[in-house]
Every structure is written in C-alpha cells, then in structure tokens.
C-alpha cells in the first residue's frame, strides 16, 4: 500500500477541520483533509444559522460550500468517503494515518472528528429533527426561533439547566422535564433555575420524575407524551418545540490508545495550545475537552491548532513547554 506524504493531515471536514485546512494550506503547508462522509459535519444539517459573524442568516450547506471553496483555493486537498480507522507513530517520528485501503503520513495531525448529540431515542424524534420542525439539541443555536412559543426541554445536567434558563428568555413557556427528583447540575445553576421557577408568573416550569416517551404532530411538533416514572401515569402535553439536552457523544472511538481520552471519550488537551498528550497531534472543535460546541468556536479552534502547528514545526521541544503567557501570538 503506498503511503502519501503531507505536512499536515486533518481528520474530519467539519467547521473545525475546514478552518484548520484554510490556515494550514494558506501557509503553504501541504495539507490533506480526510472526511468519512462529505464535508460539512453537524452544521450542514441545519438551514438556519444566525450566530456566525458576517452573516445575519445563512444555511449550513451554503456556508460549508464557501468554506470548502476557500480552503481548496489555497490547495488544501479534501478526500471524501475516507474514514480514518487508526493512527500510529512511524519510525521516522511522523504520524501514519490509515483509512480503508490507503495510508498517509504527516509531520502534524489535527484531529477534528466532532461529536454527535445523544438522542432521546423516542418515536418520531428523527422525523422532527431540525429547529424548523421543532426538535433541537442546541438552545444557544435555536432559542430565538421559538420566541413566544410553548416548548419543553429534557435533561438534568449542567447543559440542560443552563440552556433551559436561556430558552426561558425567548419562549412564552418552557417546561423542563427531568427523570429524577434531583438535578445533576452544579448547585449554582440549580439555585438560578429554582429562583426563576419560583418567580411570580414564571414562564419556567418543572416536571420531575418524568420522561418523554413520544413526540407527536403532523409535519411539525405539536405535543409530547410525558410519563411519570413513579406513578406510571401518562399524558399528552401540547408544545411546539422539544429541546433535548441528554449529552454529547464524541466521535473518538478510533483514537483510543493513540491519544488520551476522558472517561466520556473527549480528547484531552491543554486548552491553550490544543496539544494532545501525543506530540505533533493537535485537537480542535467539538471532540475536545472544554469545547463550547459552537460553529464559531470550532472554526476558531481549527485556526488556532493550525497556527500553533508552526510553533511545533519550528521547535518540536515546545510540545512539552507549559502553557504560559511569554509566548507571543503565532501569526496574523
Ligand atoms: C442541527 C444543528 C444545528 C446547529 N446549529 C448551530 C448554530 O446555529 N450555531 C452554532 O454555533 N452551532 C450550531 N450547531 C453546532 C455546530 O454545528 C457544531 O458545534 C460544529 O459543527 C462542530 O464542528 P466540528 O468540526 O468540531 O465537528 P463536526 O461538525 O461534528 O464535524 C466533524 C466531521 O468529522 C467527520 N469524521 C468523524 N469521524 C471521522 C473519521 N474517523 N474519519 C474521518 N472523518 C471523520 C464527520 O463526518 C464530520 O464531517 C448545530 C448543530 C446541529 C447538529
């Protein structure tokens, strides 16, 4: 099997990967992006983005097309249907990257395989899966589309509580449905939530010890079926939106043993320079610890990784240097 050589290989052509590709290729590094499906990642599945600076509103596929054109105009190479299955350290110190039927090598690898929202797994969830139809997994992204509407949120962790508080700024009424009596979120968030719930005429309500068992509607969300797990009682609850906050699953299974992962599968890195524990391997976007899980932060991560790559190539010993404030920004 022939092995093709690059300066930089990027794993995943979502926003983080394409941001990294633009900067790496424009800096004249021989750059390859390997993408399992086709370019775009999660953002390609939405037709309305309102929080990417420079565009008041743009669709995901349109924005991705522009990102791809921009990166390839500087000669970044993008291979689609190229799922990376493993990586290894080669004898000469470079990193070998393996896909089905092809192998590549590079001095630097930037990992950008993203994460997927954990689904609730109830009937008709997929059918309504976009903010226009009423199912969303991101309050920060989609709350404004539900202004003045009656919606529900599902979950009990930090994200669920924080995002529900955010939704309450827009919705006419938001009901947070949680399967237990106690929340897993930080105490400070729980106090904020309860403070809001207990306000006179609050638009934020709770349904505890309850789960959503089905989503209903014709063409768009019109109701959810709520079951009380203690009494077994079920009811149809009218609403126009369902926000699901039950976790993220990073797409990092293929990296186990090559880079350090957290217990939940996120890639460990120093959040300053995005270095993993494996020299020459950076990480960017939704798959890393501490990610903000937003389009702009994923792009910015990719750009940062490509900028810090230059520092590593100039001086590989820098990899073990602590994150510090003496190092001047790497470029412009
Ligand atoms: C429906 C929806 C709407 C959203 N709306 C907004 C919004 O309005 N504003 C906002 O800021 N954010 C929004 N987000 C969040 C945003 O899309 C993500 O934060 C962003 O896409 C993360 O980018 P990423 O590049 O890190 O990962 P991803 O977008 O997940 O891209 C990762 C890429 O890597 C590929 N990949 C995975 N494993 C491999 C492998 N082994 N080999 C090769 N390739 C691989 C995947 O196929 C994918 O293309 C939305 C998300 C969704 C799902």
pLDDT digit string (tens) for 295-321? Answer: 999 999 999 999 999 999 999 999 998
Strand 102-111 with 3-11, pairing: parallel
What's residue 331's pLDDT?
47
Token pair, residue 31, equals 């750059």
| For ligand 1, atom 7: residue with the closest CA | 141
> Known catalytic residue: 209?
no
Convert the pLDDT of each residue in 100-142 to its tens digit.
Answer: 889 999 999 999 999 999 999 999 999 998 768 999 999 988 9
Give the mean model confidence (pLDDT) for residues 14-24. Answer: 98
Token pair, residue 79, equals 């291979």
What's residue 256's pLDDT?
86
Q: How confident is the model at residue 327 (pLDDT cuts 50, 70, 90)?
A: low
Convert the pLDDT of each residue in 60-81 to its tens digit.
Answer: 999 999 999 999 999 999 999 9
Q: What pTM value is reported for the model?
A: 0.86
| For ligand 1, atom 1: residue with the closest CA | 46
> Known catalytic residue: 138?
yes
Q: How confident is the model at residue 269 (pLDDT cuts 50, 70, 90)?
A: very high
- Measure the CA–CA gap between 120 and 220, rounded to whole angstroms: 17
Which residues line ligand 1 at a C-beta cut-off of 6 Å? 11-17, 34-37, 40-43, 45-46, 49, 51, 83-84, 112-114, 130, 138, 141, 251, 254, 285-286, 293-296, 298
Q: Higher confidence at residue 91 or residue 4?
A: 91
Count H helices and E strands in the chain, helices first: 6, 17
| pLDDT above 70: residue 31 | yes
Q: Higher confidence at residue 332 or residue 156?
A: 156
Distance of CA 13 to the CA centre of its chain: 13
What's residue 100's pLDDT?
87
Catalytic residue selected from 7, 8, 142, 239: 142
Pocket of ligand 1, candidates 101, 112, 114: which has the most ligand atoms within 8 Å of its Cβ, to mutate?
114
Pocket of ligand 1, candidates 45, 134, 138: which has the most ligand atoms within 8 Å of its Cβ, to mutate?
138
Locate tokens 């930080």: which residue?
Answer: 186
Give the mean model confidence (pLDDT) for residues 75-96. Answer: 97
Convert the pLDDT of each residue in 164-189 to its tens digit.
Answer: 999 999 999 999 999 999 999 989 99
Q: How confident is the model at residue 329 (pLDDT cuts 50, 70, 90)?
A: low
What's residue 97's pLDDT?
98
CATH class, range 3-116+248-320? alpha beta
Average pLDDT, the chain: 94
Question: Residues 204, 174: contact at Cβ < 8 Å?
Answer: yes
Q: How confident is the model at residue 192 (pLDDT cuts 50, 70, 90)?
A: very high
> Known catalytic residue: 141?
yes
Percentage of the residues of the chain whose pLDDT score is greater than 70: 96
Strand 77-79 with 31-34, pairing: parallel
62 C-alpha to ligand 1 centroid (Å): 15
What's residue 2's pLDDT?
52
47 burial level (CB within 10 Å; 0-12, 13-18, 19+): middle
What's residue 264's pLDDT?
92
171 C-alpha to ligand 1 centroid (Å): 26
Give the mean model confidence (pLDDT) for residues 280-297. Answer: 96
Domain 119-244: CATH architecture, name and number where available = 3-Layer(bba) Sandwich (3.50)
| For ligand 1, atom 9: residue with the closest CA | 141
| CATH 3.50.50.60 residue ranges for the chain | 3-116+248-320, 119-244
| Host H or E run for residue 182 | none
| pLDDT above 80: residue 326 | no
Q: How confident is the model at residue 330 (pLDDT cuts 50, 70, 90)?
A: low
| pLDDT above 60: residue 144 | yes
Task: Please report, for residues 49, 153, 215, 245, 247, the alpha-carbon distance to residue 120 in angstroms, rounded to integers and kept in the order given.
Answer: 24, 11, 10, 9, 10
| pLDDT above 50: residue 56 | yes
| pLDDT above 60: residue 154 | yes
Distance of CA 40 to the CA centre of its chain: 12
What's residue 132's pLDDT?
82
287 C-alpha to ligand 1 centroid (Å): 9
């Amino acid at each position: 099997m022939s092995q093709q050589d690059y300066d930089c290989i990027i794993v995943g052509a979502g926003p983080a990967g394409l941001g990294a590709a633009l900067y790496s290729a424009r800096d004249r590094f021989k750059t390859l992006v390997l993408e399992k499906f086709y370019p775009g990642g999660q953002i390609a599945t939405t037709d309305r983005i309102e929080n990417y600076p420079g565009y008041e509103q743009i669709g995901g596929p349109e924005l991705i097309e522009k990102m791809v054109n921009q990166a390839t105009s500087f000669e970044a190479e993008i291979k689609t249907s190229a799922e990376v299955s493993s990586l290894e350290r080669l004898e000469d110190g470079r990193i070998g990257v393996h896909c089905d039927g092809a192998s590549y090598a590079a001095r630097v690898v930037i990992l950008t395989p993203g994460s997927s929202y954990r689904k609730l797994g109830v009937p008709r969830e997929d059918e309504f899966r976009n903010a226009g139809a009423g199912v969303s997994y991101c309050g920060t992204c989609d709350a404004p589309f539900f202004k003045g509407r009656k919606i529900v949120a599902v979950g009990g962790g930090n994200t669920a509580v924080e995002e529900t508080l955010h939704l309450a700024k827009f919705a006419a009424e938001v009901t947070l449905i949680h399967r237990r009596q106690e929340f897993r979120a930080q105490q400070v968030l729980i106090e904020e939530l309860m403070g809001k719930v207990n306000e006179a005429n609050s638009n934020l309500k709770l349904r505890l010890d309850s789960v959503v068992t089905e989503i209903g509607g014709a063409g768009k969300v019109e109701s959810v079926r709520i079951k009380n797990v203690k009494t077994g009682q079920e009811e149809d609850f009218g609403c126009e939106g369902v926000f699901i906050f039950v976790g993220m699953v990073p797409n990092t299974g293929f990296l186990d043993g090559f880079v350090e992962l957290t217990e939940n599968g996120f890639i460990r890195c120093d959040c300053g320079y995005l270095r993993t524990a494996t020299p020459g391997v950076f990480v960017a976007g939704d798959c890393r610890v501490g990610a903000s899980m937003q389009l702009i932060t994923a792009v910015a991560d990719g750009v940062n990784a490509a900028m810090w790559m230059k520092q590593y190539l100039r001086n590989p010993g820098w990899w073990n240097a602590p994150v510090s404030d003496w190092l001047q920004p790497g470029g412009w």
